[in-house]
């Protein structure tokens, strides 16, 4: 509740799936584990990374470098609300001003807070109905992976 109070409960309107066309500025919170993030990153086309800013654990640096993607990295100690680096991350993602935010991985309140504070009207998670208003769109990739489902909407 405290994170929700800090982030704010309001959520603006957006037009889905039209908001994803033309590869808008997108903030992506990668999952902490290498397997999930690696399968997602390798499934996405290189052109998708042009307007993407990734938020990732420092252990994913080599994976992200291989895709030549832009990223903000955090360590376990730095991704805690109140730490100076946490405030820097919040400032950078707010400055990036994304249209869309994609959240992969397990729920973690400090990162969910950042997803809400980034300013994106469309904040996508997967099987995450209970995370509203941090994330305001829940997709269910039943016969495909999250990457395959997103590629359809992005038009790749």
pLDDT one-digit tens code per residue, 89-118: 999 999 999 999 999 989 998 999 999 999
Rg (CA), the chain: 14
In three-state secondary structure terms, 41 is helix
* Confidence (pTM): 0.89
What totals of helices (H) and strands (E) does the chain contain, helices first?
6, 6
Instruction: Give the span between the Cα atoms of 90 and 111, in whole angstroms.
Output: 10
Instruction: Give the span between the Cα atoms of 80 and 109, in whole angstroms.
Output: 9
Confidence at 16, pLDDT banded by 50, 70, 90: confident
């Amino acid at each position: 509740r405290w994170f929700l109070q800090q982030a704010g409960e309001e959520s603006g309107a957006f037009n889905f799936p039209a908001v994803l066309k033309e590869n808008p500025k997108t903030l992506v919170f990668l999952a902490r584990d290498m397997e999930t993030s690696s399968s997602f990153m390798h499934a996405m086309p290189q052109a998708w990374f042009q307007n993407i800013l990734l938020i990732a654990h420092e252990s994913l640096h080599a994976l992200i470098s291989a895709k030549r993607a832009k990223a903000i990295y955090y360590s376990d100690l730095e991704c805690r609300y109140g730490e100076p680096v946490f405030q820097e991350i919040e400032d950078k993602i707010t400055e990036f001003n994304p249209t869309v935010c994609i959240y992969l991985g397990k729920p973690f309140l400090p990162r969910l807070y950042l997803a809400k504070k980034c300013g994106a009207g469309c904040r996508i998670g997967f099987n995450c109905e209970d995370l509203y208003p941090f994330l305001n769109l829940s997709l269910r990739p039943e016969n495909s992976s999250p990457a395959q489902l997103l590629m359809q909407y992005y038009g790749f």
